[in-house]
Amino acid sequence: MKQIISENYGSFEYTEGGVCAAKGFKASGYYCGIKAFMKTGADGNESPLPGQKNDIALMVADAPCNTAGVYTSNKVKGAPVVVTKNNLAASGGKSRAVIVNSGNANTCNGDGEEKAKAMCGLVAEKLGIAPEMVIVASTGVIGQVLPLEPIKKAIDPLFEGLSYTGNEAAATAIMTTDTVKKEYAVKFTAGGRECFIGGMAKGSGMIHPNMATTLNFITTDCAASPEILQKALSEVVKVTYNCLSVDGDQSTNDTCMLMSSGLAGNAEITSEGEDFDTLRDALYQVMANLTRMLAKDGEGATKLVTCVCSGAPDQDTAIVIAKSVIRSPLVKCAMYGADANCGRILCAMGYAETDCDVTEADVYYISNGKKILVCEKGLGLKFDEDLAKEILSADEIEIYAELHRGTETAVAWGCDLTYDYVKINGDYRT
């Protein structure tokens, strides 16, 4: 599908509510002390203290949901990824609830799948449903055993806290090194009915996806079959989350789920057509804006950096080149220092894994309505260094590359690379 190169990446009306914007979804979040238990073997507090961030989230649908998912392609997969994929296959693409913890990824552990299944079982028992109807996800430190004790104690408070306005508590609970919660929702019309679609995402570091990125949960009340949901999600992931890179490291736990309660009352979408296009485009607006939020909140980042590659012979080529620029450590460092070193841009374009000739490319830097040409026909130019410095000192920067090789355009999202990224990851476990 075509990417939309604009501020809000679509024309649908924004609405509050995140994962609770769609009819039939409740959510909650709670602090259970997973990290405290890992360090001391004790929960720490029987109840959260003021200022403590939620570390476990629950989302429950009023009715079984048609569900689609995409997951990390890392050869090392977190136990929750394996269990969720198996659950979705066993349930025939249906789910009813989601449980997510932060602080521990439950990955590379001998008892990982056992613990992930146990988390599903705790939720299923409360709802009186099969464990296969529960989606489970985890994020945090890899290779440390996930304690079940604090999670068991959190189940009752999580269910007691469920609310149709509980989206913020849940979005906060899935954060790790994130500095802000990430939510977005829109409303649209399908089959003559008003529908809503909204999501929440977490991610700040270890972001360089292939199939999905970070943890993402999206809900809609638009009725659609599991196959249609999967088609829409797979198409949109390609031009949103898969066009994001913070640090070049692909997570072991990447998961993106799309759930449909069907409570909007439209006739179920079972094939391509106008309603499918509308659902997919609304999903794109939600996921593109979440992608932008993820990039802007990269670990230690001070700037959101986008690369727009235009004039490409096809969309795949444009995506590959834009992502190559965004993920370059040298480009990211130059953006941090507001150094208009166009050689780094050309270098990254040149080693992009595509056979497109970029020797005719023009490169611009853009921010706050100002634009400067720094490279023309593959050659560096003399330019106003002060203006370039001003443009690159903004907190949102666009690198625009025009290839003059066709009509296709793509955008990729990233951020600068700072000293704080090293500090955060130098003592991540402590």
- On whether the CB atoms of residues 296 and 328 are closer than 8 A, the answer is no
Which one, of 82, 76, 95, 79, lies nearest residue 135 by Cα? 95
Cα→Cα distances 428→213, 327, 423, Å: 19, 21, 8
Which one, of 350, 345, 348, lies nearest residue 366 by Cα? 345
Backbone angles phi, psi at 79, to 5 degrees: -55, -40
Which one, of 12, 17, 65, lies nearest residue 268 by Cα? 65
- On whether the CB atoms of residues 88 and 96 are closer than 8 A, the answer is no
Could you tell me the two tokens for 429? 């476990």
Would you name the residues annotated as active-site residues?
Answer: 213
- Four-residue CA torsion sign, 295, 299, 305, 311: negative
Q: At what angle do helices 342-350 and 315-327 cross, to 10 degrees?
A: 130
Q: What is residue 47's three-state secondary structure? A: coil
Cβ neighbours of residue 184 closer than 8 Å, sequence gap 6 or more: 14, 18, 198, 199, 285, 286, 289, 290, 293
d(CA 178, CA 174): 9
d(CA 119, CA 112): 11
- On whether the CB atoms of residues 320 and 349 are closer than 8 A, the answer is no
Q: At what angle do helices 342-350 and 329-336 cross, to 10 degrees?
A: 160
